[in-house]
Amino acid sequence: QQPVQSPQAVILREGEDAVINCSSSKALYSVHWYRQKHGEAPVFLMILLKGGEQKGHEKISASFNEKKQQSSLYLTASQLSYSGTYFCGTEASLSAGGTSYGKLTFGQGTILTVHP
């Protein structure tokens, strides 16, 4: 079952912040975040493993609440280059029917548009 992302779309001005959420109905082992620009392949942003650790680099960070099976991606002081579609990909824990083969289930995506 696909994780649910919210919101479906976000429009920002440069410098504004945004949060994208990803929620799963299954217990999770890991959450991945990717960004895809129009006509291009998805590009990896970060991975979060169960444990609630918050990771990030520069102005993009993320958190993972394994008890709630939720992850959030935080984009701070957005830049024009942040525009694109953001996908979370989740891997279920073994107890929830996951495998150890990296089978990710992706959300439907969140379209982020940053205007000057």
Partner 1 sequence: DAGITQSPRHKVTETGTPVTLRCHQTENHRYMYWYRQDPGHGLRLIHYSYGVKDTDKGEVSDGYSVSRSKTEDFLLTLESATSSQTSVYFCAISRLAGIGELFFGEGSRLTVL
Judged by CB under 8 A, the residue of 38, 40, 81, 116 near partner 1 is 40
Contact status, residue 90 vs residue 84, Cβ threshold 8 Å: no
- Is 2 an interacting residue with respect to partner 1 (CB under 8 A)? yes
Q: Which of 77, 88, 81, 79 is nearest to 20 (CA)?
A: 88
**Closest to 71 (Cα-Cα) out of 110, 19, 108, 35:** 19
Write out the two tokens for 24: 């799963």
Residue 31 in tokens: 């959450």
Per-residue contact flags (x/-) with partner 1 for residues 55 to 94, judged by CB under 8 A: --------------------------------x-x-x---
Binding mask 41-60 for partner 1 (x = CB under 8 A): xxxx--x-x-----------
Binding site for partner 1 (CB under 8 A): 2, 29-30, 32, 34, 40-44, 47, 49, 87, 89, 91, 100-109
